[in-house]
Structure 1
């Protein structure tokens, strides 16, 4: 699955370069299951709406979003819920594209593939942190988000604890490995971010959830103006 900076970058695209704090927190929240320590693949699957061992189809993701939207009235909740389901969609597309290609190309056993993946994604996290405009400001926003529970999967405390763990990791440059990415080069990851944000925007329009988000909250700038950053003319 993509690591936090990829999800934060997708939220940035969805919000036209001005993501709200709770959109940013929501987009990493499904992985807050790790706040419990060692968790099984099945336990992690619950927070990602996995069914029969597979990530949900896009229709199931949008159905979940429609169910979440009216649960609370605050605009911040609407953004948090949007971030949450965008994370699951990004995971789905990652497994179908970049990660699937990685598995086809990599020669080695399971332990080696996991080690290589973690090394390259660690390097990519810091490359994105350096490359994305406003990345440091987004981390400051992320730190300020109030956060919510996603019942019955995660408590608010788990979500905020996971955030603090990830922020601490990203703000410690010693975590960046000295490895040259081969399978997850920055250019390929940036292409994925742009493509996935556009796909998800189109999916929201097709389901009418972009309109519902606007009606129920002030939302984020991306949902007000209808154009992700990568589609704006230079």
Structure 2
């Protein structure tokens, strides 16, 4: 799956494409589903539930649409959080269908599963660090995420879990995680830049269509 900087980049472009300002809760929502990783002993079943994935591991679009239909009429802070949450899940969906298989198809056939997995995380970690270092909106995004208020969200995540994840993301690039220091060969900056633009356009269209039905 894409890491926080890619999720934030897509979320910001979704709203920039329709010249629409957003609340801090929107950005927190866009990284929120992965807060499940701070829950002790959270297994695959729980991770899939929080990401609205079916038993076949695919995103259940009707459930996501219903979730947004419930939250969009609510107070702006919650409506924005829910939309950011949805953008995250839709971004994952596109990544799984495009970047993920392309990466694995290009790898040498003699690489072991462990080697492939390690390389995948090396490259995605480096891409996220590259975005962190060079993206012009990063400082403002960090300020917004810092002031976003963690809340209990539906029956998926608690405010405490979100607060832990919020702090982890904010501190991740400043010392919690060591930068790989590599030049990605398969998941390149150019590939991810293209992914962000295409994902944002697709997701913007999906959300616009769904809002028209509320």
Same fold (TM over 0.5): yes
Alignment of 1:149-160 (within 5 A): 149-160=152-163
Deviation at 1:19, TM superposition (A): 4.2
Partner of residue 92, structure 2: 91
Is 2:98 aligned against 1:103? no
What SS class does the counterpart of residue 103 from structure 2 fall into?
helix
CA distance in 1, matches of 2:157, 2:24: 18
Structure 1 length normalisation: TM-score? Answer: 0.83
Partner of residue 51, structure 2: 48
CA distance in 2, matches of 1:3, 1:174: 13
More moved, 14-23 vs 198-207 = 14-23
CA distance in 2, matches of 1:208, 1:12: 18
Structure 2 length normalisation: TM-score? Answer: 0.90
Query: Residue 29 of structure 2 contacts residue 82 of structure 2 at CA under 8 Å; is this kept in 1?
Result: yes
Query: Residue 80 of structure 1 contacts residue 148 of structure 1 at CA under 8 Å; is this kept in 2?
Result: no
CA distance in 2, matches of 1:106, 1:83: 33
Is 2:200 aligned against 1:197? yes
Query: Residue 52 of structure 2 contacts residue 60 of structure 2 at CA under 8 Å; is this kept in 1?
Result: no
Partner of residue 63, structure 1: 66
Partner of residue 33, structure 1: 36
Is 2:143 aligned against 1:133? no
CA distance in 2, matches of 1:110, 1:133: 36
What SS class does the counterpart of residue 27 from structure 1 fall into?
helix
Unaligned runs of 5+ in 1: 213-234
Query: Residue 103 of structure 2 contacts residue 186 of structure 2 at CA under 8 Å; is this kept in 1?
Result: yes
Partner of residue 78, structure 1: 79
Query: Residue 80 of structure 1 contacts residue 147 of structure 1 at CA under 8 Å; is this kept in 2?
Result: no
CA distance in 1, matches of 2:37, 2:151: 16
Deviation at 1:153, TM superposition (A): 1.4
Query: Residue 126 of structure 2 contacts residue 180 of structure 2 at CA under 8 Å; is this kept in 1?
Result: yes
Alpha carbon RMSD of aligned pairs, Å? Answer: 1.9
CA distance in 2, matches of 1:115, 1:157: 30
CA distance in 2, matches of 1:208, 1:167: 31
Partner of residue 112, structure 1: 115
Structure 1 residues 133, 184: closer, same or farther in 2, change over 3 A?
A: same
CA distance in 1, matches of 2:187, 2:178: 17
CA distance in 2, matches of 1:180, 1:111: 20
Runs of 4+ in 1 over 3 A off after TM superposition: 57-60
CA distance in 2, matches of 1:30, 1:127: 23
